[in-house]
């Protein structure tokens, strides 16, 4: 009986009279701490401190006047409620409308970036295509260019009076002036869904698609070059057509590279500040505002630092939720065995 009980409980454990200190248990602990300390100090200063500072700020009425004398009053969750529920005293501010547009903006952009990127990568991967490298170099230029510069160029291109697009249209006989970035007439009018989109939404979408597809093309090209040609030869022998090869060979084999790229694309596009800010400025009448540009405007010109901190924490939570959901659906971070 005693033996059975002992068997159930497992082998007898012995305890030392004096528990060894962490230094005794891990003789290299001091060295490890010393090695980590410089990096940790830098991280603490440039990452952890700003994060905690922002969280603190979000619960205060921090404004411009507090930058010099940091004595704001605590306001609890007031900033968060004002941001999400009650709306802020700003023209054209509507959190839900901005969020809906932001999600649509991200979805449409990433879809077009990935679609165009894969299509062009496949086209450039054809064996007999001449000057492939030249094409690839040219096509990658938009991605290599700072998005601020791209934004400024596109803003000038869409300019109604002096812009290249309208000048070009006039060459083709289109009379009059299209106010690409200023016209408030909706081209998509679904107010029940919170979607009222002017011409500038299309203009800024074109600008960002131009900017975004080369990244996906580069990733897709890399993945395509890793697919053994023998698979396509075998498919040819089986009589498989072009679409079949794409669906059964190309797509599954580029998936491990494309899904993480899509995840990055979602995060980058969701927070694509430069293109929105420099092409439309969120206008006209805030109709192309996304969360990150609105967050910036809460600081410049408003100077509402506490509100802006709360706003951006909410944006972070939304983006984290979107990323987790996308990750769950696409299994982007799971190991992939083809």
Partner 1 sequence: MNKKSRFLVFFLIAAASFTVFAGGSKESSTEGVTISIWHGFIETEEALFSRAVNNFMAENPGVTIEMLAVPFDQLVNKFTTEASAGTGPTLIVGPQDRMANYEEAGLLAALDQNAPFLKELVPAAVEGGKIKGNLVGVPVSNKVVALFYNKTMVSRVPADFNQLLAMAADHGMAITLDWFHNYMWGPAFGAAFLNADNKVVIDSPQGAAAYGFLKKVSESKGVVMDGNDGDMDTLFRQGKVAFRIQGPWAAGDMVKDLGAGNVGVMAVPAIDGKYPRPWNQSEMISVSVDATEAQRDAAMDFLAYFTSAEVQKTFLEEASWIPANASVDTSSNPVVGGFLLQVAYSDPFPVVSELGSTWEPMGNAMTKIMEGVASPAAALKEAAALANSANGK
Interaction site with partner 1 (CB under 8 A) = 64-65, 67-69, 89-92, 161-162, 182, 184, 284-285, 300-303
Q: Which residues contact 240 (CB under 8 A, 6 or more apart)?
A: 248
Name the minimum Å distance from CB 208 to partner 1.
22
The smaller minimum CB distance to partner 1, of residues 169 and 182, is found at: 182
φ/ψ (deg, to 5) at 23: -65, -35
The structure tokens 């599954």 sit at 252
φ/ψ (deg, to 5) at 186: -70, 135
φ/ψ (deg, to 5) at 117: -60, -45
Name the minimum Å distance from CB 132 to partner 1.
43
φ/ψ (deg, to 5) at 93: -85, 120
Name the minimum Å distance from CB 303 to partner 1.
7
φ/ψ (deg, to 5) at 198: -85, 180
Tokens (6 digits) for 92 = 């054209």
Q: Which of 285, 89, 88 is nearest to 197 (CA)?
A: 285
CB 118 within 8 A of CB 258: yes
CB 75 within 8 A of CB 59: yes
Count CB atoms within 10 A of the CB of residue 44: 12
Q: Which of 174, 87, 151, 145 is nearest to 288 (CA)?
A: 151
CB 122 within 8 A of CB 242: no
The smaller minimum CB distance to partner 1, of residues 149 and 325, is found at: 149
The smaller minimum CB distance to partner 1, of residues 113 and 297, is found at: 297
The smaller minimum CB distance to partner 1, of residues 285 and 318, is found at: 285
The smaller minimum CB distance to partner 1, of residues 65 and 96, is found at: 65
Name the minimum Å distance from CB 67 to partner 1.
3
Name the minimum Å distance from CB 300 to partner 1.
4
CB 125 within 8 A of CB 255: no
The smaller minimum CB distance to partner 1, of residues 308 and 319, is found at: 308
Tokens (6 digits) for 41 = 């100090």
Name the minimum Å distance from CB 124 to partner 1.
40
Name the minimum Å distance from CB 283 to partner 1.
8
Tokens (6 digits) for 35 = 């090695």
**Three-class HEC string of 15-58:** CCCCCCCHHHHCCCHHHHHHHHHHHHHHHHHHHHHHHHHHHHHH
The smaller minimum CB distance to partner 1, of residues 120 and 203, is found at: 203
The smaller minimum CB distance to partner 1, of residues 55 and 70, is found at: 70
Neighbour-count burial of 276, counting CB atoms closer than 10 A to its CB (0-12 exposed, 13-18 middle, 19+ buried): buried
The smaller minimum CB distance to partner 1, of residues 103 and 152, is found at: 152
Name the minimum Å distance from CB 160 to partner 1.
8
Name the minimum Å distance from CB 194 to partner 1.
17
């Amino acid at each position: 009986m005693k033996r059975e009980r002992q068997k159930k409980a497992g082998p007898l454990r012995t305890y030392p009279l004096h528990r060894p200190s962490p230094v005794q248990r891990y003789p290299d602990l001091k060295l490890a701490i010393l090695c980590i300390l410089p990096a940790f100090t830098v991280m603490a200063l440039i990452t952890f401190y700003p994060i905690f500072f922002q969280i603190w700020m979000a619960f205060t009425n921090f404004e411009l006047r507090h930058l010099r004398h940091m004595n704001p009053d605590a306001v609890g969750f007031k900033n968060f409620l004002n941001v999400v529920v009650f709306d802020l005293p700003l023209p054209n501010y509507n959190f839900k409308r901005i969020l809906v547009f932001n999600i649509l903006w991200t979805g449409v952009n990433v879809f077009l970036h990935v679609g165009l990127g894969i299509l062009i990568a496949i086209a450039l991967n054809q064996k007999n295509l001449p000057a492939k490298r030249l094409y690839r170099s040219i096509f990658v230029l938009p991605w290599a260019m700072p998005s601020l510069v791209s934004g400024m160029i596109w803003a000038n291109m869409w300019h109604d009076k002096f812009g290249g697009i309208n000048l070009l249209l006039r060459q083709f006989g289109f009379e009059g002036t299209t106010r690409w970035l200023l016209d408030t007439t909706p081209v998509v009018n679904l107010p029940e869904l919170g979607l009222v989109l002017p011409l500038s939404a299309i203009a800024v979408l074109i600008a960002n698609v131009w900017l975004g597809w080369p990244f996906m093309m580069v990733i897709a090209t890399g993945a395509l070059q890793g697919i053994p040609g023998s698979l396509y030869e075998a498919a040819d022998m089986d009589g498989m057509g072009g679409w079949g090869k794409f669906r059964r060979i190309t797509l599954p084999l580029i998936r491990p590279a494309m899904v993480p790229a899509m995840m990055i694309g979602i995060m980058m596009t969701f927070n694509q500040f430069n293109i929105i800010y420099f092409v439309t400025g969120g206008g006209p009448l805030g109709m192309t505002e996304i969360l990150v540009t609105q967050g910036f405007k809460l600081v410049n010109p408003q100077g509402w630092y506490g509100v802006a901190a709360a706003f951006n924490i909410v944006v972070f939570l939304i983006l984290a939720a979107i990323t987790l959901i996308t990750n769950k659906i696409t299994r982007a971070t799971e190991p992939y065995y083809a």
